[in-house]
Structure 1
Amino acid sequence: MSTPAEPPAVTDGESSPAATPAPSGSRALVTWTAVLAAFVLAADQLTKWWAESALTVGGEPVPLVGELLQLRLIYNPGAALSIASGYTWILTIVVTVVVVFIVRAIGRLGSRGWAVALGMLLGGAVGNLVDRLAREPGFARGHVVDFIDYAGFFVGNVADIAVVSAAVLIAVLSLRGIGLDGKRHGNAEPAAEPDGDQSDPA
């Protein structure tokens, strides 16, 4: 006589989809993105502090690579290349929206490349946002500290370098079809068979 089968052993809930924790890889990417952003922010603010203490507005440029790369202190009320210098508060709002978007996007990370790109972008954006919020002439109208002169074409800072580097990396990732989740969205998997063709093989 056969005995009734014993019920399956009850686990600690690890087999339940609702109890499955987020992949450790995703948490690690989020952590490293935050660490990179903090590093960029710290480097940006420390170099700006140094520039204000070592350089003077209107002073002689300090050559690093001849006239190709010099140090020259200016206070920029606008965006890159001093664009929209009369609309500092609008730029502050735009950058704030960008920062919020980046923070929300970080939660979907599944790609190391995107983690690096968003970390640099977030750190650079926050670096210049701090200037706009905390510096003269007032809240949300502050001027950004720029001190790296590129052959007289424009003057930037460490935050700008991070933002431009992030933009280049994002362009490369997009061209390769790599999304935030790390999947190549340009190579879609074959679609499922229509319902009518799903008869069981005999």
Structure 2
Amino acid sequence: MNAKSKKEYFLPLILTFIVILTDQLTKWLVVRSIAPWSVGFTFWGDFLRIVCVYNTGAAFSLGSGLSSIMRFIVMACIPTVFIGAICVVYFRSDFTHVQRWFLSAVIGGGISNLLDRFFRVEGVVDFIDVKFYGLFGLERWPTFNIADSAIVVGAAGLFIIIIMQEYYTKKKQKNTSDIEPHEE
């Protein structure tokens, strides 16, 4: 592996550490300054609120009603295996430099939420609460954190890039098959 390819592999991992550090620091500040299950700060009326809540489930609190053993398996063990698989894919695939940045965001968010699952008895700290104006029947979007945002943005970006690449590859193949060689 030459210096350029090493840089393309390892530079995006900086984002992984930035996501983990930023997420854990903001969670620490929230837990330290806002009482659990209360609103600490509001911005733009009540559009954005900084709150302190704990989520023992997954996204939208799914699985929070499971027994503690099942919750540990579903919310900690399976995601650990999944993040490990993403790391293997990260190093063994032909992803582009941009795709690696998106994967790094997903890895960082996943690891940071796992840190909460393993080291916070209360669950994952969520603190960003946004008004949703009744869309999809929700007055407020389910509370989330920086790690959740990194996972969503990373996965969405990766999905868009892969779809775009597939589209342009098919378009290029179609254009080259439309060109027929001329006989002389």
TM (norm. structure 1) is 0.72
User: 5 Å matches for 1:41-190?
Assistant: 41-87=20-66, 88-89=71-72, 90-107=74-91, 108-136=93-121, 143-151=123-131, 152-177=140-165, 186=170, 187=172
How far the C-alpha of 1:25 sits from its partner, in A, is 3.0
AA at the equivalent of 1:150: V
In structure 1, list runs of 5 or more residues that go unmatched.
Answer: 1-21, 138-142, 179-183, 192-202
Partners of 2:88 and 2:7 lie apart in 1 by: 16
How far the C-alpha of 1:131 sits from its partner, in A, is 0.6
Partners of 1:185 and 1:39 lie apart in 2 by: 33
In structure 2, list runs of 5 or more residues that go unmatched.
Answer: 132-139, 178-184
AA at the equivalent of 1:93: C
Contact 2:42 2:48 in 1 (8 A): yes
Contact 2:39 2:49 in 1 (8 A): no
Partners of 2:173 and 2:17 lie apart in 1 by: 36
SS of residue in 2 equivalent to 1:154: coil
SS of residue in 2 equivalent to 1:71: strand
Runs of at least 4 residues of structure 1 off by over 2 A? 23-26, 58-61, 184-191
Partners of 1:97 and 1:106 lie apart in 2 by: 14
Instruction: Kindly name which structure, 1 or 2, has the bigger radius of gyration based on alpha carbons.
Output: 1
RMSD: 2.2
TM (norm. structure 2) is 0.78
Contact 2:105 2:150 in 1 (8 A): yes
For residues 85 and 188 of structure 1, do their structure 2 counterparts lie closer, same or farther at Cα, with a shift above 3 Å needed? farther
**Percent of residue pairs identical:** 26
How far the C-alpha of 1:63 sits from its partner, in A, is 0.6
Partners of 2:39 and 2:151 lie apart in 1 by: 27
Contact 2:103 2:155 in 1 (8 A): no
Higher helix share: 2
